[in-house]
Amino acid sequence: MAYYNDLREWIAALDRAGELKRIRTEVDPILEITEIADRVSKGAAKKYGRPGGPALLFENVKGANGVPVFINQFGSERRMQLALGVDKLDEIADRIRQLLNMKSPEGFLEKLKMLPMLADMGKFFPKTVETGPCKEVIKKKDFSLLDFPILQCWPKDGGRFITLPNVITRDPKTGKRNVGMYRIQVYDATSAGMHWQRQKVAAEHYRELLRQGAAKASSSGQDGGLQPSEDAKKRTCVDIMARSGGGSVLASGERPSGTMDVAVAIGTDPAMTFSAIVPAPPDVEEFIVAGFLRQKPVELVKCETVDLEVPASAEIVIEGYVKLDELRTEGPFGDHTGFYSLEDEYPVLHVTCITHRKDPIYATTIVGKPPMEDAWMGKAVERIFLPLMKLTLPEIVDVNLPVEGVFHNLMVVSIRKSYPGHARKVMNGIWSLGQAMFTKCVVVVDEDVNVQDIGEVVLKVFNNIDPERDIQFTLGPVDSLDHASRLPNFGSKMGIDATRKWPAEGFTRPWPDEILMDEKTKAAVDKKWKDLGIE
């Protein structure tokens, strides 16, 4: 299978595969593109013969100065497979398993056998190059975010939002880079709202800089403007320590103190874009994840005005900084839950430079009531990172994050049950795994239940449970987008133990057998089936 150096190779591959629809009719980036893409995601399966409809390239976008809009690139299982260069997503999971199962070689021959695998691992690591296509146009002044066809997705959105960015920040303690996908609300030509929720890595980078600033101020006997006010203590977005009013754009080359560098890459190759959403281990850079997925290193170039590196082949790069003492209202935003996430206070990105290719393509996505493009991205994460989940919880057989559960609301897990209370141990283990801590409801079933078959799951779950006995509740962190929780970012979660109950768990009644036909009768009917004339 193919891997792609940039977004353009990916678009050309989709075109050859019959997975791309070019649209030349003029469309408006305000609401119209969303309505078109939503209809394709939800209703075009019958017309096009495949789930999710085609990827869409809008070539005549109103007010876009000729910049096309690319959307729904990951909007089907087949396109996710094409994007990652595999025939089945489980192939990537198998590669991860091989890495996890590597053992120290014993003897010279075993070491020789490992050399090819070690050489392949060298392909994962990014390399910095002198320049790249993203530097074809460099604007350090007279630039504007509004030069690009950034969408307003839904009628009650707070404005236009960048929805498919690679947001790059650096850990102030370790120097390691993080690439996350956080929506960005455009306020005006040179400023935007950075929606990194408090549990996200970029938010932790921000908090660490605040802690360092507060520590310096404390040691020098100054407040540094970073001591927590009563107003700041009430804020819920990223636990900031202070708040000021909106800032103004400084002259070229000027920079206030107390800031954090940010770079935003838009329109990267599909493996790089996908890597921004994966739940990678904390110490593994997403650039390495992308190299693993594409089996060749990501080429990076240094930014012009901030101390960060970005993918050299990106279509558009936005450079800037956030001030550590500034928040601004961001939202509302029509989110993947099917509801609007509400307004809240978030850091402000001040743009210092924009670079792009000579004829850039603006890549974006929309979220809303499922199924949409993000459904297929989420299912890919589910399949690919199952081995990492099993590394911590080896009793897990399979997991399913149903699209209708918008990923963080429902997880169905099958396990090899080995001891009383095993299902409850797994529930608590899942709630301790990174972003899985947000899972509102975990349902645990026995290993013989196909968790991918929701009909079978419902049959087994609601036959197997005694609600008072088998449902447990716990309190903890919840997703910032959860509008039903008792408090922002904090609420309850539910676990359902739908496994067969054992005497050691206090169940002394006989457990009935499941109704199944015997194999001899099934084979006899198989032989007669055509003669019966039923089909």
Q: What is the 3-state secondary structure (H, E, C) of 287-308?
A: HHHHHHHHCCCCEEEECCCCCC
Alpha carbons 144 and 251: distance in angstroms, whole number: 14
> What is the pLDDT at residue 457?
95
> What is the pLDDT at residue 51?
63
**CATH code of the region 125-363:** 2.30.110.10
Fold classification of 393-505 is UbiD C-terminal domain-like (3.40.1670)
> What is the pLDDT at residue 504?
92
The H or E element containing residue 458 is: helix 454-464
> What is the pLDDT at residue 336?
87
> What is the pLDDT at residue 494?
95
> What is the pLDDT at residue 461?
95
> What is the pLDDT at residue 243?
35
Domain ranges in the chain are: 125-363, 393-505
Name the active-site residue from 157, 261, 335, 344.
335
Instruction: Give the residue carrying structure tokens 């099934």.
Output: 522
User: Residues near 479 by Cβ (< 8 Å), separated by ≥ 6?
Assistant: 197, 408, 438, 489
Q: How many helices (H) and strands (E) does the chain have?
A: 16, 23
**Crossing angle, helix 373-384 and helix 90-100, to 10 degrees?**
30
Q: Which residues face 58 on adjacent strands? A: 23, 69
What does the chain come to in residues?
535
Q: Has 335 been annotated as catalytic?
A: yes
Using DSSP, state whether 483 is helix, strand or coil: coil
> Mind listing the pLDDT tens digit of every residue in the chain (535 residues)?
568 999 999 999 999 999 999 999 999 999 999 999 999 988 755 555 556 789 999 999 999 999 999 999 999 989 999 999 999 888 888 887 776 665 555 565 554 544 455 556 667 889 999 999 999 999 999 999 999 999 999 999 999 999 999 999 999 999 999 999 999 999 999 999 999 887 788 888 998 888 888 777 666 665 444 443 344 334 434 443 333 333 334 444 456 678 999 999 999 999 999 999 988 777 789 999 999 898 899 999 999 999 999 999 999 999 999 999 999 999 999 998 889 998 999 999 999 999 999 999 999 999 998 888 998 898 888 888 888 888 889 999 999 999 888 778 899 999 999 999 999 999 999 998 888 888 999 999 999 999 999 999 999 999 999 999 999 999 998 888 888 888 988 999 999 999 999 999 999 999 899 899 999 999 999 999 999 999 8
User: Residues near 501 by Cβ (< 8 Å), separated by ≥ 6?
Assistant: 464, 469, 470, 507, 511
Residues 264 and 162 sit within 8 Å (Cβ to Cβ): yes
